[in-house]
Chain A
Amino acid sequence: NAGVTQTPKFQVLKTGQSMTLQCAQDMNHEYMSWYRQDPGMGLRLIHYSVGAGITDQGEVPNGYNVSRSTTEDFPLRLLSAAPSQTSVYFCASSPRTSGEYNEQFFGPGTRLTVL
């Protein structure tokens, strides 16, 4: 299994540009999430999904869109990039377990710079 994969690894955008960060997992996990990590900080939740067709907002959703058309993929779209969105973005997935929240598996991250 490849686990959680993210592309691209690095990206530089100009203010106002849009782009999609890709995330895929091959573990048949129902739950997927997107986080951003700013320098010296912990992770902040952007959006998450509990299954195909179901998404919800996290702590910092503004400026980002998500969709979940398949179990495997959970892309994150930046609508109009701003310098404040310069960060490292992590995608994570988790299996569904009855009555218990389980550990999350993280991808390697995408380092995004917005000029």
Chain B
Amino acid sequence: SQQGEEDPQALSIQEGENATMNCSYKTSINNLQWYRQNSGRGLVHLILIRSNEREKHSGRLRVTLDTSKKSSSLLITASRAADTASYFCATPKGTGRRALTFGSGTRLQVQP
């Protein structure tokens, strides 16, 4: 099973609304990352939060991390049609944690 699991699997909102996506993971981590994937394209890194951080902001993005619950959330405020994409959380894995394990993603649709 995936190390990271996002929910909801799909989310449809109106422009201007906030979008919240959640991610749960199973093993201990030193950081958690969020990526965006536009349809038919590669993934783009959005934000990284370290295990000793509880909240991080980047523009309209807000990420929280609760290591006791092994969960993270991504909040996109004042959403735009251009935010329509799939969003994935990812945690390090492999020897020395050099690669990533991805969840199955949340498909966000922002209606104009």
Total A-B residue contacts, Cβ distance less than 8 Å: 69
Task: Using C-beta atoms within 8 Å of the partner chain, give the interface range for chain B.
Answer: 20 to 34
A50 beta carbon closer than 8 Å to chain B:
yes
Name B31's contact: one of A35, A43, A92, A101 (CB within 8 Å): A101
C-alpha gap A6/B1 in the complex (Å): 28
Contacts of B96 in A (CB 8 A): 50
Interface size for A (C-beta < 8 A) is: 28
Q: Is B2 an interface residue (CB 8 A)?
A: yes
Between-chain CB contacts (< 8 Å), 18 pairs: A31-B98, A33-B99, A42-B88, A42-B102, A43-B43, A43-B100, A45-B93, A45-B100, A59-B101, A90-B42, A90-B43, A100-B31, A102-B48, A104-B90, A104-B100, A105-B45, A107-B42, A109-B42
